[in-house]
Each structure stands twice: as structure tokens, then as C-alpha cells.
Structure 1
Amino acid sequence: MNKNLASPHMVTPAVGRILIAAIFLISGLGKLMAPGATMAYIASLGLPAPLLGFLGALVLELAGAVLLVIGYRTRIVALLLAAYAVVTALIFHHALADQNQMFHFLKNFAMAGGLLQVAAFGSGAFGLDARRAPASQAIA
């Protein structure tokens, strides 16, 4: 194996993508296992079309997680997930007097920050985007 490909600088973006994707994958699987509870929670906040909200969140979380892990269309996926994290923080975790809600609000904003870094710097060497890009852009 090329020594440069094994360097921490080359591996770090892939590890970061996997770690960020994990929360979306687990959340999506949780929604898949309890669709009724998810839709009831959406409805309890007075949001319209709980089924549509559930389906949108499910697809975005599961597809977004998989695409992040494999590093495909990484920049756009990261931007979409960052926006999703901010929007869900504002809608579902806005009761900031509740310490648990404050934690989730800040967690979502931290995830958005990490995703913006992914959007800025791309998938790195270990992602499908690197295979599609010219060698000069593979690290970006």
C-alpha cells in the first residue's frame, strides 16, 4: 500500500464521515422501527402531514448516512444534512430551559458544524467522490 494512502491525514476524513453518519443511521433506523411513535411526535408539535415528515426524515437520514459513509456526492449530502440538523434543532429542540433539549439543540448545531467541514473539504481520498474526480481534486 502506498505510504501516503495510509497516513492519518488521508484516513481522517473517512473516519469523520463514518462517525457523523452513525447518528443519522441510528436515528433513521429508530424511526423505521417505530413509525407510529415518530409520526405521533411530529403531530404533537402541531406540524402538518406527519406521514410526509416521517418519510422525508427517514429517507434523508438513511440515504444521507449511507452516502456519507461511501463518500458519494459528499459535499451536497453534507450540506443537506447540515440544514436538516439545524432545522430539526429549531423545530424539535427549542425548549432551551429543559437541559436535555438544550443538549440536543447544541448537538444538532455541532453536527451541522462538522457537516459544513465535510462540505468544505469533501470526502477525502477514501470515498467514491475521489474516484470520480481528477487526481488534483481527490484530496479536496
Structure 2
Amino acid sequence: MSQAAQLNAQTNAHADTPAAAGVAVLGRVLISAIFLLSGASKLAAPAAMIGYIQSVGLPLPQVALAIAIAVEVVGGIALVLGYRTRLVAAILAVFSVATALAFHANLADQNQFIHFFKNIAMAGGLLQIVVYGAGRFSLDARRGNA
């Protein structure tokens, strides 16, 4: 067995422990929190969000709002549950980068700079989930797709 294959086998064996599975759940919950809170805030103040979407020049702001709410709420819940986790994490990663570019691209503004790179960092964490999956404690694992 090659050295890389041995290292991969050791990493996979460690990732299958109950402690690692618990950390995977915690990670999914923590990264989902921002999407769930953001979706809830959009539901609470749709008119303000439509105005914000219009202010950046995106077309069909009502449709964009509905899509954003669906992605954030449904995606956040699916990620917490570990349901179709790799696909959901990929969608949320793309969504995070798209919203960074559409809403936080004014990097001269320190607040927008922070939000831009927060979204990029979230995409990075989500890509880790795409690669490594949901872990043992997930609906995917029950379906044999962890």
C-alpha cells in the first residue's frame, strides 16, 4: 500500500469515530445557523429585502427573494438533518459566492469587505462538507449515502 493510501485509510478510520461524527453534526448545525437566521429575517421583512435586492440592480426582486428564502431555509434544514448533504452544501456554497459578488463586492467599504470574505469562508467550509459528506449521524448515513 502506498504512503498516500495508508494516510487516507488512517484519516478515514479516524473520521468514523463517534466523536468525529458528533463534530460533523455540530459543524453542520453551526454553518446552517447563518442560513436559517438569514432566511427567517427575509421572511420577517420581505419588503425591506425586496428594496435591497432592487438597490443592487438584480432583476425580478420578488423571485430572487423567494429563491433566497427557499435556498436558505430549506438548505439550512437539510444540512442540519444531513439530507442530501453534499448536494445541499454545494448549492449553499454557490449561493454564498453569488451573494458575496452581488451584495458585498464593494471591498472599499470595511463592512462589505468583512461580509464578502465571510461568505467566501462559508463557501470554503461548505466545500469541505461536499468532499467529506454528512458523517455517521445523518439522514444520508441512514440511506447509505454518507
- What TM-score does the superposition give when structure 1 sets the normalisation length? 0.91
Q: Which residue of 2 aligns with 1:102?
A: 113
Q: Which residue of 2 aligns with 1:63?
A: 74
Q: Which residue of 2 aligns with 1:8?
A: 19
Q: Give the whole-Å Cα distance in 2 for the aligned partners of 1:110 and 1:24.
A: 14
**Percent of pairs identical after alignment?**
53
Q: Give the whole-Å Cα distance in 1 for the aligned partners of 2:118 and 2:29.
A: 17
Q: How does 1:117-128 map to 2 (within 5 A)?
A: 117-128=128-139
Q: Give the whole-Å Cα distance in 2 for the aligned partners of 1:93 and 1:117.
A: 23
Q: Which residue of 2 aligns with 1:40?
A: 51
> Where do 5+ consecutive residues of structure 1 fail to align?
none
- Deviation, structure 1 residue 84: 0.2
Q: Give the whole-Å Cα distance in 1 for the aligned partners of 2:122 and 2:43.
A: 22
Runs (4 or more) in structure 1 with deviation over 6 Å come to none
- Correspondence for 1:83 among 66, 87, 94: 94
- Deviation, structure 1 residue 111: 0.3
Residue correspondences, number: 132
Q: Give the whole-Å Cα distance in 1 for the aligned partners of 2:118 and 2:107.
A: 13
**Residue identity matched to 2:133:** G
Query: CA RMSD of the aligned region, Å?
Result: 1.5
- What TM-score does the superposition give when structure 2 sets the normalisation length? 0.87
